[in-house]
Structures are given as structure tokens and as C-alpha cells.
């Protein structure tokens, strides 16, 4: 997901660079005394196989929708950034518990000091991340295709910390974490489609 966003940014940078080059060529061709653009060659006949002229850069195409609502756009940026913080915090602090409990199937040795310690750290982080994600989902003006998976991720994070608290088995832990990953991916996709990044 972040790779595709980087590609999108590279494309935007290329478009901006070509637009700046076009603007610079018009300035370079200007008559310094009159501040008007110097005349070009006299127009001649247009060949039959010539491509149609591109519309000016500042005019939207006729089939373009209405400009984005600035309030909704700000809501997307704010919520997606906040959700990204929640994801990073949860992942960084749950990781040790996941590693310490991996490989045992449904059996989890909660008596192991490493598992016990990482369980406490992981639950604490999940509690905070779930709250942050829910706050992000409740951002006023946030579209449902972003808010719904954020909210679902928050509820599943709360479910995961309860499973960890009651010393649940590996199957429950893995299934809930997998569902959270699906919610995170859906929220990130919604953010990307609406101009944000989580």
C-alpha cells in the first residue's frame, strides 16, 4: 500500500515538474519590455493525423466531478494519520508477544516469563491503540469506507487484549489478529482512495 502511494507521489512530482517547465518556457519567451508572450510561428494547416490539443492545465476535464469537499479532505487526512499512529503503536508492542507465543499451535505457555511480560506490554498497547483508532473512526465528516474498518479494527483490538487477558489459545489469538490485519488493509485502502495515508 505504501509503495503504491510512493508511486503516486512520483507521478505527481513528474506532472508538477513538467508543469513548471512549461511555465518557465513561457516566461523565457516573454518580451521583457511589454511583459507579453513573444509571438510564435505563424499558424499553418493542421495535419489530418495530428493529435488534438491538450486542454490547459488549470481547466478540469468536462467529465470531472465536483471539487473535493475541503472539510471531508481534512477529516480524511487527520483520521488516517491518527489511525496510522495506532497501527504502528499496536504492531511495535504486540510483536514480542506474537513471537514469544509462535509455534505452539493452540497451546500458549502463559507461565513463561517472556510470554507473561510481553502479554502485559501487548495488552497495554492494544488498549491505547484501540482507543486511538476509535477516536480516528469518529472524526466528524469521515467517509464510511474509512471509518467502518477503523472502528472494526478498534473493536477487534479490544477483543484481542481480552483474549490475552484471559489467557486464550493460539487459534483465537491468530484469528483475531488476522481479522485486524484485514480491517487495517481496508482502512488503508479507503485512506488512499480518499487522498490520505494510514
Convert the pLDDT of each residue in 26-85 to its tens digit: 444 444 444 555 555 555 555 555 555 555 555 555 554 444 566 688 999 999 999 999
Is residue 30 included in any domain, yes or no?
A: no
Would the pLDDT of 194 be above 60?
Answer: yes
Convert the pLDDT of each residue in 94-126 to its tens digit: 999 999 999 888 999 999 999 999 999 999 999
d(CA 101, CA 118): 10
pTM of the model: 0.65
Is residue 150 included in any domain, yes or no?
A: yes
Q: How many domains does the structure of the chain reveal?
A: 1
User: What's the whole-number average pLDDT of the chain?
Assistant: 77
Is residue 33 included in any domain, yes or no?
A: no
Is residue 2 included in any domain, yes or no?
A: no
Is residue 24 included in any domain, yes or no?
A: no
Is residue 58 included in any domain, yes or no?
A: no
Is residue 136 included in any domain, yes or no?
A: yes
Domain containing 74: what range?
70-193
Is residue 96 included in any domain, yes or no?
A: yes
Amino acid at each position: 500500500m505504501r509503495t503504491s502511494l510512493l508511486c503516486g507521489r512520483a507521478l505527481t512530482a513528474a506532472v508538477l515538474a513538467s508543469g513548471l517547465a512549461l511555465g518557465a518556457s513561457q516566461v523565457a519567451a516573454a518580451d521583457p519590455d511589454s511583459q507579453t508572450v513573444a509571438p510564435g510561428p505563424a499558424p499553418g494547416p493542421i495535419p489530418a493525423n495530428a493529435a488534438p490539443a491538450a486542454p490547459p492545465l488549470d481547466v478540469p476535464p468536462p467529465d470531472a466531478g465536483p471539487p473535493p469537499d475541503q472539510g471531508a479532505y481534512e477529516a480524511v487526512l487527520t483520521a488516517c494519520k491518527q489511525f496510522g499512529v495506532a497501527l504502528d503503536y499496536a504492531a511495535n508492542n504486540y510483536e514480542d508477544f506474537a513471537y514469544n507465543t509462535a509455534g505452539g499451535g493452540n497451546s500458549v505457555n502463559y507461565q513463561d516469563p517472556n510470554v507473561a511480560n510481553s502479554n502485559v506490554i501487548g495488552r497495554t498497547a492494544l488498549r491505547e491503540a484501540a482507543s486511538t483508532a476509535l477516536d480516528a473512526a469518529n472524526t466528524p465528516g469521515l467517509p464510511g469506507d474509512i471509518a467502518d474498518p477503523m472502528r472494526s479494527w478498534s473493536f477487534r483490538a479490544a477483543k484481542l487484549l481480552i483474549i490475552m487477558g484471559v489467557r486464550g489459545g493460539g487459534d483465537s489469538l491468530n484469528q483475531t489478529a488476522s481479522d485486524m490485519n484485514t480491517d487495517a488493509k481496508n482502512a488503508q485502502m479507503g485512506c488512499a482512495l480518499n487522498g490520505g495515508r494510514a
